[in-house]
Amino acid sequence: MSLRILIVGAGLAGLTTAIGFVRHGHQVTVLERKPKLSEESGSGILLGPNAMRIVETWGLKTEFEKVAHVNDTTKLRRFQTGHVMKSFSKPKGSL
Protein backbone atom coordinates (compact mmCIF):
# COMPACT_ATOMS: atom_id res chain seq x y z
CA MET A 1 0.00 0.00 0.00
CA SER A 2 1.49 3.33 -1.10
CA LEU A 3 1.01 6.32 1.20
CA ARG A 4 1.04 10.05 0.44
CA ILE A 5 3.43 11.61 2.97
CA LEU A 6 4.09 15.27 3.78
CA ILE A 7 7.40 16.20 5.41
CA VAL A 8 8.00 19.69 6.78
CA GLY A 9 11.63 20.79 6.61
CA ALA A 10 14.37 20.03 4.09
CA GLY A 11 17.09 19.59 6.67
CA LEU A 12 19.08 16.42 7.11
CA ALA A 13 16.30 14.60 8.97
CA GLY A 14 13.56 15.66 6.55
CA LEU A 15 15.48 14.76 3.41
CA THR A 16 16.70 11.46 4.83
CA THR A 17 13.17 10.54 5.87
CA ALA A 18 11.86 11.48 2.42
CA ILE A 19 14.44 9.30 0.68
CA GLY A 20 13.60 6.37 2.92
CA PHE A 21 9.86 6.63 2.22
CA VAL A 22 10.38 7.04 -1.55
CA ARG A 23 12.64 3.98 -1.59
CA HIS A 24 9.75 2.04 -0.06
CA GLY A 25 7.31 3.14 -2.78
CA HIS A 26 5.52 6.04 -1.08
CA GLN A 27 4.68 9.46 -2.57
CA VAL A 28 6.51 12.17 -0.63
CA THR A 29 6.23 15.95 -0.63
CA VAL A 30 8.86 17.96 1.27
CA LEU A 31 7.98 21.53 2.32
CA GLU A 32 10.71 24.03 3.13
CA ARG A 33 10.29 27.61 4.30
CA LYS A 34 13.18 28.91 2.22
CA PRO A 35 12.48 29.10 -1.53
CA LYS A 36 15.99 27.84 -2.35
CA LEU A 37 18.60 25.97 -0.35
CA SER A 38 21.83 27.65 -1.23
CA GLU A 39 25.22 28.63 0.05
CA GLU A 40 24.24 32.31 -0.16
CA SER A 41 21.49 31.85 2.42
CA GLY A 42 23.91 30.26 4.87
CA SER A 43 22.00 27.00 4.87
CA GLY A 44 23.68 23.71 4.34
CA ILE A 45 23.87 20.13 5.44
CA LEU A 46 27.10 18.70 6.79
CA LEU A 47 27.49 14.97 6.19
CA GLY A 48 30.17 13.04 8.00
CA PRO A 49 31.75 9.76 6.87
CA ASN A 50 28.95 7.52 8.18
CA ALA A 51 26.27 9.60 6.49
CA MET A 52 28.23 9.53 3.23
CA ARG A 53 28.34 5.72 3.44
CA ILE A 54 24.53 5.77 3.54
CA VAL A 55 24.40 8.15 0.56
CA GLU A 56 26.63 5.71 -1.32
CA THR A 57 24.48 2.72 -0.29
CA TRP A 58 21.42 4.52 -1.66
CA GLY A 59 23.22 4.94 -5.00
CA LEU A 60 23.22 8.74 -4.70
CA LYS A 61 26.95 9.42 -4.33
CA THR A 62 27.48 10.47 -7.97
CA GLU A 63 24.54 12.90 -7.88
CA PHE A 64 25.64 14.20 -4.49
CA GLU A 65 29.18 14.87 -5.73
CA LYS A 66 27.76 17.07 -8.53
CA VAL A 67 26.32 19.57 -6.04
CA ALA A 68 28.41 19.08 -2.90
CA HIS A 69 30.80 21.67 -1.59
CA VAL A 70 33.78 20.13 0.19
CA ASN A 71 35.38 22.03 3.04
CA ASP A 72 39.13 21.59 3.29
CA THR A 73 39.00 22.32 7.00
CA THR A 74 36.31 22.10 9.66
CA LYS A 75 36.61 24.30 12.73
CA LEU A 76 34.72 23.86 15.98
CA ARG A 77 34.19 27.28 17.58
CA ARG A 78 32.94 28.40 20.97
CA PHE A 79 29.55 30.05 20.37
CA GLN A 80 30.01 32.98 22.75
CA THR A 81 33.49 34.08 21.62
CA GLY A 82 34.12 32.51 18.22
CA HIS A 83 37.35 31.01 19.59
CA VAL A 84 38.49 27.98 17.57
CA MET A 85 38.53 25.01 19.94
CA LYS A 86 39.55 22.37 17.38
CA SER A 87 40.35 22.23 13.68
CA PHE A 88 40.13 19.17 11.40
CA SER A 89 41.66 18.86 7.94
CA LYS A 90 39.97 16.86 5.21
CA PRO A 91 41.62 13.44 4.67
CA LYS A 92 43.30 13.11 1.27
CA GLY A 93 41.15 11.37 -1.32
CA SER A 94 37.87 11.94 0.51
CA LEU A 95 34.90 13.81 -0.93
Q: What is the pLDDT of residue 37?
A: 65
Strand-pair category, 27-31 with 4-8: parallel
pLDDT at 62 over 80: yes
Q: What is the mean pLDDT of residues 5-9?
A: 96
Q: What pLDDT is recorded for position 41?
A: 54
Q: CB–CB of 61/52 below 8 Å?
A: yes
The answer to whether residues 68 and 62 touch, using CB atoms and an 8 Å cutoff, is no
pTM: 0.56
Task: Kindly indicate the confidence band of residue 69, based on its pLDDT and cuts at 50, 70 and 90.
Answer: confident
User: Quick check: 51 and 68 in contact, CB under 8 A?
Assistant: no
